[in-house]
Structure 1
């Protein structure tokens, strides 16, 4: 498979701050402005990027997000950015509603910063350092673990041969490898970076399908009656369960549950089940995660019963690692979805794409550029499958919600889109 990164424009090489792309000095203009636009028209703007000296850039590769919005009616939509590869960009907006609109363009990362992110991400497995805790009786020992470890000595290796999944630990002093129980993580140092390189009405409507109005408790209850919803992935898809519980009074947690790994909620009267389970390693958290509590999604999909509804949301915990780790996980998920659809062709599978996150997130580990690339990878791996893509990236860009856990309005819109595919006649 051709690499997702190969499909992106070549990023610029960093030489100095002054020669890097500057949002302050760049210019945004309407292309072929007209006195009046109609609903359904396309509004195009051109972004001419300049460096900190005010000189036009001669190459592309900048990471840009754009939106139009009308605050007085709480309407917004994201724009489609086309890199013209010469320092200019065309941003196209579909005009969905009447009235005045404001255009917002954000230079998220200069092309030089993108080049740095690509460089430090490739084959760098040490941005996240794991500490494994081994137990036997009252005895406890700690050791370093990781997705890939460099060691001349034999390692404790933990493999899923059927899925080519792998991580390892340096053997503890006396305890055997089989006694590994928990792992926690912390950020590792980033090598080969200079000092200068650190410098750098509230409802969403799909433009590609007809969405239903699943915002009321009654409409959601009718849709989910007698159904089991299996949520698999990170905490951004766990939000679906939390939001549904706030909206549906009869939906309650069933003990035992642990919001870090697994949570089951049931409405016995309406026979609704909503289960969430965290995806398997890698995960990025300071908590001690019991390794056997988090299963690989491919194995969880193999356990799905006929008639269950599957929602998968992954990506945020993979950002610090080379893209190949994420793609391998996606390929395993793809194979599992195909196995599921072979035995249960009518089962609905929903893929929730990544959403944007806080501007203050550690750029070298968690930049939204990594999320953008991982979303491209998901679209590529799942493009020919019968699955529903919930474009959380588009939703959060349009809503200008830069938060790893978006607000309840955004999450409700994600759920509504998924239910539109589940309950066409509700």
Structure 2
């Protein structure tokens, strides 16, 4: 067993260096003077013994320190706190070279607060938690070796997975909140048959997209509720305000403020039928399949109206929240429509780019397994209904 380090770093000193990394981002780690982080990285890489990698020192903190930071953030345990930590340091996919102001703004969006409020309140908590995990790693005495961390982090905490399906298609699976998507043309959002969006403080996909698409003032106050207002306008134009539409109906809106992230459209798919006199919903897998098929039909219809044309679409596991479907049942309803559309697209020369988004790594594991193995066999093994 590795020995316990005789001298643990002080939390305040580690926090000061984490704040340096926040300002510079991991892309500039080698330029930073971060001796405490270097010592922790060397100690863990050497299993508690002296003489770790030379490039982990204060003069050239690089790969080993970045692995250390990723390991510390991965220990936070997921959720908004971990996501905000990844954005704050530039550890999230595609953010290594983002300016500090952009990373802070995205971290603030995770909590749905203004940048100024995040800077004064949430950021210190986020960075403090990173520092606490770093001190905890130092106290492990090498039990968590940074030599083994990159593989563990990549396998369990990666936020994107590119999966080649049983056919020729390649699907990207995102493991984070839906409002963190970037450069995806269309997001499919499950909603109820009244097209009534939930309040912005809720945690569902539709509530998260409503919140992310809204325009806020510098204090976090609502200026324009873009997605909500456009969806109400669609219902009014189609004569459905206050009454239910048929399950599987699709209503398109803009993405509101999400346009700044490269998201151009939201397709609201009515799959949840409210159960009278309760707060519960019923979702039928056949309605999910029908809704996804109609979403692709709308994508084909709208694509050429945009410059450049719409070509990428991201789907959550529709109905797997309050709708009551298991993730396995939801995927079993979504994928047949996706697979059929991909086949039709190949025939007519349309190259759709398909993404899935889930928040839990266990669900990402399931989606990856279902994409690469026999679906009917997996349903039988897990007791699901095809």
What TM-score do you get using the length of structure 1 for normalisation? 0.31
The structure with the greater share of residues assigned to helix is: 2
The structure with the greater share of residues assigned to strand is: 1
